[in-house]
Structure 1
């Protein structure tokens, strides 16, 4: 692959500085102790960062080598060679054809962005500690592979496969960079490569997650508590792996770590706990280029040539598929929206962001909320998430510290251009003038992004909460306003899931939820989450039953009786939950072709009353038809109207409770498709993933967790679905954090691993 001269992103133009050397453990080799407690959860201890990474890489490979091995093939742009150019890639958030994936990742390697970042000192480049972690992780993974042999791997999915082999530090750094780009450049592979054809990029993946940070006035004992409920994919590289990482006297953190990363993204130490949710903020912009003939465009009246990047992808027969990608001063030129007069370029604020991993590592070392916030100000690397946190003092904290392009509201209005892609949720700016370049804040760690002083933030003694709503309703007692619209709009409809989240908190603080005296304890926090409320049913039930009273159709009336008896909770035995889902998902659809969509809400949204509107159900022919159609589907296919979530949805043959995003379920589920004529949905593929409820006390953390899809993706592993069965029945794991708690586990297994000398 040859790379012709091109203009690179501003963040990479600074002169290179030699990187701090990555060193192995003192004494000449890596060493770590792996202690596994119930459900196979690993607790890694080492005397330094290299050894810690070594132990982590070894333990992870024991459980999930095949998943990472496949992803390394993706990151190297070699999927077409092994699986064919038309097969679907293993990206769990947004799969594309292998050839499109390969062209994209080959272009990343050819751009040289990773070595340029590795040549930079921290905070723009990785810290010495993170470099040691990565090198150790690679060595640990490779040591396990060497010990076991490809032909003897326990996972049948990759045993004996030609595409399995050792990994490199470059693979790991590329994975960390790709994670930062997950909600920006990496989600636009087809638009960048042109593989889907002009104007046909696939839609962006839906976001999900719930997070609460509870302060001292919301908890019964006056300490801080965190509920983490990220909704990430249940398959592939974006799964969480539960782990504890310990260097005595230096680091002791426990929580969820995304596959192939050597740090904990969501977790706690002895004094601080934190979690994240995906933001509504902008993480990239699109620039309209005024073409000047050929591969060139104008800026401030001067012609600039586009860069041309030649990419070669090897196919299964050994032949090479050649592709030319264009780039600009803003970033890659998109293969969508082009005309004789204009083209469009992607400007990705996370294009050169390796800072996130160091930020998570520094947060893990924080001894207080102030130290956690200092870590965020130092690295400014959160790619696309809010942060919610608390500490043992019971102070609750929320901030959108994500990487956001510095585009003020005035600039967004002054520089706005029509979007080349309908529904693209990003600013489209005029690229023909430098007056529309991203701005710069003095407190920003890299140019072109908003600094910490501009970020939405809130500190409270009661609580902060987010369920992927915009920041303004973090706490209804103190609405947040006045921040750049690039962080999201205010005064908008909360949507049902954030509304039920805030209502769950309000009912617990007042004691109206039937769980006892007001205020949160660890037990009532767990019980609140297990409620499985379906908010849209609660808001529409009375109007629905009134409408049912006037419907003379027998089948519909039987459906109405089923819904009248249902308690509105999507538990495994919720008889009526699936009928409600099928009815609700039909609401808003036109009755016949050509009719406009409609709102089924009787009372529309009112920004002055965001917690109580919209509500009610309109009694109109389209709503009645939606109910008749839902009941008719059940009847025509012999499906009982009392079909329950436990009968309709599953993962690894285990029944899964819960309902969908639109219905207003707190811990939502998503299946791979619609309800079949057999009364079953395709397997659950997204939803609550690593759930953590932690209480910080002066005596140490008290924590309950559940990894919904379990620790290992290997179908032959005893830990492939054991926590899934626990999640199905509403159970949690009592975390073992201290050395004494770990040693007391009757299931404890301990092994010490060393680097081969």
Structure 2
């Protein structure tokens, strides 16, 4: 696969410039490793390890290819790799037709994001502004590193890049800034193969049999005893893509068609976006390469326009075709009939390749006030101009928005009206930063008034198991709480545990588990998507039970009801502010599990990662950044938690972009390599 992609000319395969950039990245990595030596590497996790060695361009290309598949086949690796085992086990069974019949569901990448692109009519000085707030993992291979790439006269771009990639994915140059959020569009479809009777590795298309492809793959692995062995497995493929181990029966099998399976175009697209001088050039870059793998694009320029697009790679499945070809009635999964060529992906004249939608079909919006996204569908990128005319495979319309989307839209509305307490209406760089890190909790804003009323009427509430619990002290704590998720917000953790309890499935006396009944007082209304649902249905017995359960848990563990985020959540030794997405927090965080008896959550592992606020002025960009988990993953580095401490205190780094700004830095050092 990779060989075929690399053999294609640009823009279908990598450009000469991108190839040179990858080669330079590899040379730089290997030069550092050679000069330093494996035994002298500063990170103890790598120092002296036998698996550390030079890399090749193939390693970088494979990492990029895997990144592009994050919304598709990268999530199905185990099911793809196990297809040979599934076939072998089926052949050895005495009773036929007994394999795993489950069908994989639609998967959505774990990372999220927030983004504002602010146009000239929404800023005080008439400049374009951008907020980037990607929510990526704090550990592992998908961390960002900060970089400023300069090739005099060719490229001058600053921002964040993911480990192992040589291009800036989120960033700005002198006149354009852009960011991404994870798109709601689907990257793949599943195809149900109708197997030839008596042949588990052949399937029918338009009544004619087609044999599955078969490939032997050998991998070197280390077992639990530390021994190294070579394991060989068989992979099966179809005209649609790899066959999955899951769902393979005597009559049918499931194949995965991934629109990004052979896509490396996004790397050249990011390179071209980094060189764009205005939004028109950025749009041309996207139309030329059509490679964004799984993200929306939000951008602005020095002229003060704001741009939203789902310019990503999306399978060409129209609404009509989806209904006609659907092999299983499941709204969460697009399983198509693989027995007829009528259900193959369609073609657009303006698409770079068959099988994906072209630019004309993509949801796009250009404004001079703002566009925004927090991983919802394109529908309300700007509520004044709802986007509706796009295929459903891109996302839904007129459906309930999650609380993070709603709080982000409300933050913009309050800034434009001046009702947020940050001064005169309109964004400045400073108010953009303060808006982004305000630590609002929308669930509390919507529900706390009704909970207070319930507290006044019912000072003793009944827990899930029927025990009576005095909640007066808890009610007083929640009443006095500032409603935010700052380090010192007393009551924020009690609220979280109460809110989690509201959404927890209920166990009946007979042991059956039922999903929670809606506790909203006012249900969702598509005519009022920004203000519904709202209010707390205090007549729902799950509401007092959730508070009673939370209070009893705190009391049993000896935890103060005033427990703060600064005490309960950390990254290493650094306290971390913020709250969860479900609560309606904008710059949300996620921990690895439940609150312990000591009043601590596991370390923060996901959330705001590379935050960037940019104002594009005629004199040059003004930029503030913070890499929430800091630049170094090594616990031995002085830069392992330095920016995390800034993030903890709500502080940012002032970027030095121009040559004059860089030279003015008092601790500047320069290293020249030949």
Deviation at 1:193, TM superposition (A): 2.4
Q: Residue 92 of structure 2 aligns with which residue?
A: none
Q: Residue 627 of structure 1 aligns with which residue?
A: 547
Q: Residue 7 of structure 2 aligns with which residue?
A: 119
Deviations for 1:17-49, whole angstroms, at most 9, x for unmatched residues? Answer: xxxxxxxxxxxxxxxxxxxxxxxxxxxxxxxxx
Q: Residue 564 of structure 2 aligns with which residue?
A: 644
Please give the root-mean-square deviation of Cα atoms over the aligned residues, in Å: 1.5
Which stretches in structure 1 are left out of the alignment for 5+ residues?
1-112
Deviation at 1:370, TM superposition (A): 0.1
Q: TM-score if structure 2 supplies the norm length?
A: 0.93
In structure 2, C-alpha distance between the alignment counterparts of 1:739 and 1:115, rounded to whole Å: 40
Matching of residue 674 in structure 1 with residue 566 in structure 2: no
Deviations for 1:701-752, whole angstroms, at most 9, x for unmatched residues? Answer: 0000000011111111111110000000000001000111111112212111
Of residues 546-555 and 406-415 in structure 1, the stretch that sits farther from structure 2 once superposed is 546-555
Q: Tell me, yes or no, if the aligned pair for 2:502 and 2:516 is still in contact at 8 Å.
A: no
Q: How many pairs are equivalent?
A: 639
1:172 to 31, 39, 60: 60
1:464-503 equivalent positions in 2, closer than 5 A: 464-503=371-410
SS in 1 for 2:501: coil
SS in 2 for 1:331: coil
Deviation at 1:471, TM superposition (A): 0.3
Q: Residue 461 of structure 1 aligns with which residue?
A: 368
In structure 2, C-alpha distance between the alignment counterparts of 1:445 and 1:547, rounded to whole Å: 59
Q: Tell me, yes or no, if the aligned pair for 2:82 and 2:235 is still in contact at 8 Å.
A: no
Deviations for 1:121-151, whole angstroms, at most 9, x for unmatched residues? Answer: 1111000000000001001100000011111
Matching of residue 605 in structure 1 with residue 493 in structure 2: no
Q: Tell me, yes or no, if the aligned pair for 1:591 and 1:625 is still in contact at 8 Å.
A: no
Q: Residue 298 of structure 1 aligns with which residue?
A: 204
Q: Tell me, yes or no, if the aligned pair for 2:81 and 2:235 is still in contact at 8 Å.
A: yes
SS in 1 for 2:217: strand
2:265 to 344, 348, 355: 355
1:248-647 equivalent positions in 2, closer than 5 A: 248-292=152-196, 293-316=199-222, 317-418=227-328, 425-553=332-460, 555-593=470-508, 594=512, 595-619=514-538, 620-647=540-567
Q: Tell me, yes or no, if the aligned pair for 2:373 and 2:381 is still in contact at 8 Å.
A: yes
Q: Tell me, yes or no, if the aligned pair for 1:207 and 1:468 is still in contact at 8 Å.
A: no
Deviations for 1:404-441, whole angstroms, at most 9, x for unmatched residues? Answer: 0000000000000117xx88x44110000000000011
In structure 1, C-alpha distance between the alignment counterparts of 2:298 and 2:391, rounded to whole Å: 20
SS in 2 for 1:749: coil
In structure 2, C-alpha distance between the alignment counterparts of 1:138 and 1:534, rounded to whole Å: 44
Deviation at 1:552, TM superposition (A): 3.0
Which stretches in structure 2 are left out of the alignment for 5+ residues?
87-99, 461-468
2:652 to 720, 732, 735: 732
In structure 2, C-alpha distance between the alignment counterparts of 1:589 and 1:159, rounded to whole Å: 45
Deviation at 1:204, TM superposition (A): 4.8
Q: Residue 35 of structure 1 aligns with which residue?
A: none
Deviation at 1:651, TM superposition (A): 0.6
SS in 1 for 2:432: helix
Runs of 4+ in 1 over 6 A off after TM superposition: 200-203
In structure 2, C-alpha distance between the alignment counterparts of 1:445 and 1:676, rounded to whole Å: 52
1:143 to 23, 31, 47: 31
Deviations for 1:190-234, whole angstroms, at most 9, x for unmatched residues? Answer: 222239984497965434100000001000011100000000000
SS in 1 for 2:62: helix
SS in 2 for 1:720: coil
1:735-750 equivalent positions in 2, closer than 5 A: 735-750=655-670
Q: TM-score if structure 1 supplies the norm length?
A: 0.83
